[in-house]
Structure 1
């Protein structure tokens, strides 16, 4: 179970300004340490060789880091625009949270501030001879870090924002979210009972947006016994309005209702962490955009179908093995499981609709369904057969050549 504090901390940890601020503070403190520590250090004169050149070195770092940072920001904006146009606007969130990009920019900004503070301190005359030597040593370390990040950044820029790299990020996010749901099929709670008590009181959303996160530890603290049991009615990713019921509970009071409502974080957009369906939807969006007449790139759509099979295969195996009914932390919080039928609809329906006139897409979709059926149970195979029949109907109408229709049918029968 992930509480709200840990979830917000993870969001903060992925933000660019957080890393840039930490690295900037590190750069400023590094420049000041040479001044603060010099009274207690006795640096040998042999080590101080080259310390007189620290002024010019810091000037070079300050000017070059400002230019490199500006260029890097421009490259980031270009990559975001490319991902929005060629992949999906929803995928740009993963580019914004990319750790390599954030570390590189934060290093450049930190080095710039380090050199700026060093130049100001040297001009003010706050360093003695030992302090200048320590500053020179710190400058050498900063140069090594900057060169390392520059080399890594030069290689990373060649694929940042490219279609394949962005698809890989979406696939990884979808796989991680689905694996997290496999490990916690009820978000750390219990399976929803078939029949709930009739005297339950609803807790309504009170606002409009998407459920981004559910604070299960908070709900667990509010449901300490059977009489206080909480039945969660929505999953992360659900769009709610002010009248939608978020949860129901037997015990009721204004304060308890407010606390239960507080456990549900509602925002203007969906996020990948607790919402496996969102990653699947974004993958399908990438394939649909590739199949649009303006782009006409069925190869990318075929690539995405392969990604979908990789993402869904562990879930199909999990469904075939049965959901783990082991004891979960929240004993009196009940949650609906993720529906395999919804996941299939999220992925296969948009691609089949937009690719119904392309025989290669029909064949590859049928092969994808066969691959998933091979690792599923009988219920999953029935779901696969339903989608197989629906695909045949779509491609019968979309394909104009009878030979192409027969090729899709043969792929379905195989």
Structure 2
């Protein structure tokens, strides 16, 4: 897809990826630093020099020399500390959380400030030694240098507090929860991604196949609408963000009305599905649930044996599903401009499978985790949301059956059964297995 074909959503998705690149903000700060030095020369043209204090070039150059040498050391130290935090997050939590740790605003702003201050000092020192400034320009450059010093000190103090927490388990869990909550809010506001509901009992039509292996990261519904507008065709999306794609796997189905002119560009339709090697949090709420479940699974492994972290994750999942159940002012997608693009809604049962299936399996032998799971399902079953209530009841029964098979002490089993009996109606038939 050419750049001119990109819609607003596609461009915003690409810009959000820049937050995960460590070079983006330092590059901007370098440009701003160089621009600030040369803007100081404007003071020689417009500022009344006779009213400004005279700044000696030697004193300013000494100050800039100290700043340049110290900023390089601090920037190197910052990079080493951030790399250590990234490695800690990948080892203690899960490698899937790496992108969120890299995108930490405080750390990126700190690194950008240190590098920007270094570039500012080098450029300003070179310009001053070559007589680039007059009296007003030297005073302006001195004021800018003091301002840069103040910004560096404040940034360093704030960054030290942040780097002490970055990469720790609690900080990583909070980052994943925050990213998942944002993805859920976006999906709640646009449950059909800007399209319309799928029509039941409709013929599939012509399959639009993927051309590469990877995960669907973003679906440009606006581009799909634009491709089908002239021919009055309809598109049924079957690969939502997070779906695995491969050559021969359908991303969508194209339906042409009888007798319509077939001028739909299939390549543009396929290009509307952005496929990458990894799943992204932005448009994929289920990915955040999977990552949280993986963190809990690692905590419950025999090598770590940390049920407390798994219990914290259970509380996080309850908060996220409670947010999902809150009523939102959803966009009236049926009356929107993308009326030719049919998109399926997220299934709550699938979200519960992502969040709780592996957690209930790995924590079945821990009475603390099993009790917390039953309490979590009880809380979710009390939400005013029928799909969540049904999914909570199903997973509560399944988790109870897993615990019965895994717990060695009969007293633990009776305690768990008594807790479940307070709210869960036990069916006569065996519990329905969780879908894969």
TM-score normalised to the size of structure 2? 0.89
- The answer on whether the counterparts of 2:289 and 2:354 sit within 8 Å (CA) in structure 1 is yes
Q: Which runs of 5+ in 1 are unaligned?
A: none
Tell me which residue corresponds to 2:276: 267
- Show CA shifts across 1:144-194 (max 9, x none): 111110111121122111111110010011111111111111001111111
Tell me which residue corresponds to 1:61: 67
Report the alpha carbon displacement of residue 412 of structure 1 after superposing the two structures with TM. Answer: 1.5
1:101-120 equivalent positions in 2, closer than 5 A: 101-120=107-126
Q: Which has the higher contact order (CA 8 A, sep 6+)?
A: 1
- The answer on whether the counterparts of 2:20 and 2:99 sit within 8 Å (CA) in structure 1 is no
Secondary structure of the residue aligned to 1:336 is: coil
| Greater displacement, 250-259 / 109-118 | 250-259
Secondary structure of the residue aligned to 1:167 is: helix
Whose helix proportion is higher, 1 or 2? Answer: 1
Tell me which residue corresponds to 2:195: 189
Report the alpha carbon displacement of residue 313 of structure 1 after superposing the two structures with TM. Answer: 1.0
- Show CA shifts across 1:248-286 (max 9, x none): 112385861011001000000000000000000011011
Report the alpha carbon displacement of residue 123 of structure 1 after superposing the two structures with TM. Answer: 2.3
- The answer on whether the counterparts of 1:3 and 1:218 sit within 8 Å (CA) in structure 2 is no
- The answer on whether the counterparts of 1:51 and 1:133 sit within 8 Å (CA) in structure 2 is no
Secondary structure of the residue aligned to 1:151 is: helix
> Residues 42 and 323 from structure 1, CA distance in 2 versus in 1: closer, same or farther, beyond 3 angstroms?
closer
2:399 counterpart of 1:391: yes
For residues 166 and 305 of structure 1, the distance between their equivalents in structure 2, rounded to whole angstroms, comes to: 15
1:3-42 equivalent positions in 2, closer than 5 A: 3-13=9-19, 15-42=21-48
Equivalent of residue 383 in structure 2, options 348, 353, 375: 375
Report the alpha carbon displacement of residue 51 of structure 1 after superposing the two structures with TM. Answer: 5.7
For residues 332 and 351 of structure 1, the distance between their equivalents in structure 2, rounded to whole angstroms, comes to: 40
For residues 139 and 317 of structure 1, the distance between their equivalents in structure 2, rounded to whole angstroms, comes to: 50
Tell me which residue corresponds to 2:302: 293
Secondary structure of the residue aligned to 1:314 is: helix
2:355 counterpart of 1:350: no
> Residues 24 and 145 from structure 1, CA distance in 2 versus in 1: closer, same or farther, beyond 3 angstroms?
same
For residues 6 and 267 of structure 1, the distance between their equivalents in structure 2, rounded to whole angstroms, comes to: 16
Tell me which residue corresponds to 2:249: 244
Report the alpha carbon displacement of residue 219 of structure 1 after superposing the two structures with TM. Answer: 1.1
Report the alpha carbon displacement of residue 201 of structure 1 after superposing the two structures with TM. Answer: 1.0
Tell me which residue corresponds to 1:258: 267
For residues 295 and 2 of structure 1, the distance between their equivalents in structure 2, rounded to whole angstroms, comes to: 45
Tell me which residue corresponds to 1:211: 216
- The answer on whether the counterparts of 2:189 and 2:330 sit within 8 Å (CA) in structure 1 is no
TM-score normalised to the size of structure 1? 0.94
Report the alpha carbon displacement of residue 396 of structure 1 after superposing the two structures with TM. Answer: 1.0
Q: Which runs of 5+ in 2 are unaligned?
A: 1-6, 423-436
- Show CA shifts across 1:67-120 (max 9, x none): 111111111111111111111111111011111111111111100000011111
Secondary structure of the residue aligned to 1:191 is: coil
For residues 317 and 373 of structure 1, the distance between their equivalents in structure 2, rounded to whole angstroms, comes to: 14
Tell me which residue corresponds to 2:433: none
- The answer on whether the counterparts of 1:2 and 1:216 sit within 8 Å (CA) in structure 2 is no
- Show CA shifts across 1:39-63 (max 9, x none): 4433236522566411111011111
Equivalent of residue 130 in structure 2, options 117, 124, 141: 124
Equivalent of residue 229 in structure 1, options 224, 230, 234: 234
RMSD: 2.2
Secondary structure of the residue aligned to 1:117 is: helix
> Residues 134 and 377 from structure 1, CA distance in 2 versus in 1: closer, same or farther, beyond 3 angstroms?
closer
